[in-house]
Amino acid sequence: MKHVIVIPDGCADEPQASLDGRTPLQAANLPAMDAIAREGMVGTANHVPDDLPAGSAVANLSLLGYDPHLYFTGRAPLEAAARKIPLAGEDWAIRCNLVTVQDQVMKDFTAGHVETEQAEQLLESLQQELGGDNLEFIAGVSYRNLLIYRGGQQAAPFSQDTRSTAPHDLIEQLVVDDYPRGPGSDLLCDLMNRSAKLLKDHPVNQQRISAGQLPATNIWLWGLGQSPELPSFEQLHGKQGLMITAVDLLRGIAELIGWDQLEVPGATGYTDTDYAAKGEAAIHALQRVDVVCVHVEATDESSHEGDADAKVEALEQIDQLIVAPLHTALQNQGDYRLLITPDHPTFLRTRTHSHGPVPFALTGNSIEADGASSYDEQSAGDSFSHYLAGHQLMSFFLSP
C-alpha cells in the first residue's frame, strides 16, 4: 500500500470578513480536496500541545507521529540537520533571521525577503566581526540563517529554560520586551544589539535602500536547541518515507528520521513555488518508497503577510496541481491512503502560528465515508474523529 501526505502549511484559519465570513478553505475552490472528504473521512488533530511553542517544528514532528513532548528540543537543530551540520554534545544551534526593525517595531521578519546572495554577504560580515572559534554564522536561504554555538569541553550557557520569541510572531509589534530571556540570553541579546550597529551602513543595505527595498537592520536569534535523538520512521512505524519540501525545517526532520529527500527545481518555499513540479515529483516518488510527504509553505507565508486572497490562491493551486493528480495516480496504481492536513493554524488576523486543532481529510483503502461533503474547519469540527494528541493520527493513517 502507498501512503501520501500533503501538508498545506498553516492553512487552517478563522472566518474572514474579506471572504464573506468564510475561512480560506471554505472560500477556495477545492474540488479534489472536497472529493477526498466525501469519499473518506474528515476530522481534527491537535499537533501543538498548549505547553509547547505554536510552531512548525513542534507541529510537524507531531504530524509525522513523534510525540513532541518526548522529541522536541528546538527548531534550529532541525534546520542544522537539514544542512548536515554536526552538533556535538555541548553544541547549540540558534536560528538567525535577518529582519527589519524600525523604531523598535518588527516591520518585516524576512528583511523584505532579502536575496540569498545578499544574505551571504551580510553573514560573512557578521562572522568577521561577531563570530569566533565558538560562534559560527552560517548562511542559508534568504532571511533563514543559523548561528552555531560550539561548546567544546565546557557546558554551554544555554538551557531548556532559555526563552526566545519567533520574529514572525512579532509582526508590527514592539520588540523591546521580546528579546531572549533566561540562561545565556545576555550573549544572544549582545549579539543582536551589536548586529544593528554593524548592519546599519553595510553596503548591502545601502544597495537595498537605494533600490526601494527594506534593509536587514538586525539579526534576530531564536529557536535554539541541541540535537534531538529521534528513532527512525521505519523503527517507529515500519515504513520508509520521502520528503518533498523547500523548507529546511522539514528537510531537517526528514534527515533525522531517516527519510529520503527529493529536491524539486522551482520549489521556493513561497507563493511563487512550482506547484505542478512538486505534484509530478510526488507521483514519480511513489515508485521508490512506502510514504511520500509533500509539504507546501505558500499558505503559511500568505498568512504571515495577512493576504487572504493569496492564501485562497495557494490552496487552489495545491488542490489542482498537487492533490488532484496525486489522487488520480494513487487510484490507478493500486492500494493507497491519502491524507490532507496542515500542521498548525496560522491566522490571517494575527499573522502568526497558533495553537489549536487543524482539519484533516483521509481517503483510501478501508476508510469508510463519514458523510462529510467538504474539506474545511467546520466540517472537520462537526465530525466524530478528533485526535487531541495529534501524533496518534499517523498510526491510524498507516494502520492496515
For residues 319 and 380, state if they share a domain: yes
Are the C-beta atoms of residues 248 and 237 closer than 8 Å to each other? no
**Gap between the Cα atoms of 159 and 92, Å rounded:** 10
Average the pLDDT over each of 52-61, 152-161, 191-200, 214-223 and give the range with the smallest value.
152-161
Contacts of 291 (CB under 8 A, 6+ apart): 2, 3, 4, 5, 233, 239, 240, 241, 242, 398
Structural domain for 173, as ranges:
82-225
For residues 34 and 138, state if they share a domain: no
Q: Of 173, 198, 225, which residue is a domain's last?
A: 225
**Gap between the Cα atoms of 204 and 197, Å rounded:** 14
Are the C-beta atoms of residues 229 and 241 closer than 8 Å to each other? no
Q: Of 225, 254, 272, which residue is a domain's last?
A: 225
> Pick from 135, 139, 102, 94: which is nearest to 118 by CA?
139
**Gap between the Cα atoms of 281 and 188, Å rounded:** 40
Structure confidence by residue, pLDDT tens digits, 111-133 = 999 999 999 999 999 999 999 98
C-alpha cell at 27: 472560500
Instruction: Provide the 3-class DSSP secondary structure of residue 2.
Output: strand
C-alpha cell at 188: 544572544
H helix runs in the chain, sequence order:
24-27, 31-39, 56-63, 68-71, 76-82, 116-130, 185-199, 203-210, 233-237, 248-256, 275-285, 298-304, 308-318, 324-333, 377-381, 393-398
Q: What is the mean pLDDT of residues 13-31?
A: 98
pLDDT at 153 over 80: no
C-alpha cell at 238: 515500519
**Gap between the Cα atoms of 163 and 94, Å rounded:** 12
C-alpha cell at 366: 478501508
pLDDT classification of 19: cutoffs 50, 70, 90: very high
pLDDT at 389 over 90: yes
CA–CA distances in Å: residue 394 to residues 8, 63, 387: 17, 7, 10
Can you give the pTM of this predicted structure?
0.89
The answer as to whether 332 is a domain residue is: yes
The answer as to whether 208 is a domain residue is: yes
For residues 119 and 61, state if they share a domain: no
pLDDT classification of 249: cutoffs 50, 70, 90: very high
pLDDT, position 155: 83
* CATH code at position 43: 3.40.720.10
pLDDT, position 114: 97
For residues 247 and 394, state if they share a domain: yes
Number of domains making up the chain: 2
For residues 254 and 200, state if they share a domain: no
For residues 19 and 110, state if they share a domain: no
For residues 299 and 348, state if they share a domain: yes
For residues 265 and 217, state if they share a domain: no
For residues 278 and 366, state if they share a domain: yes
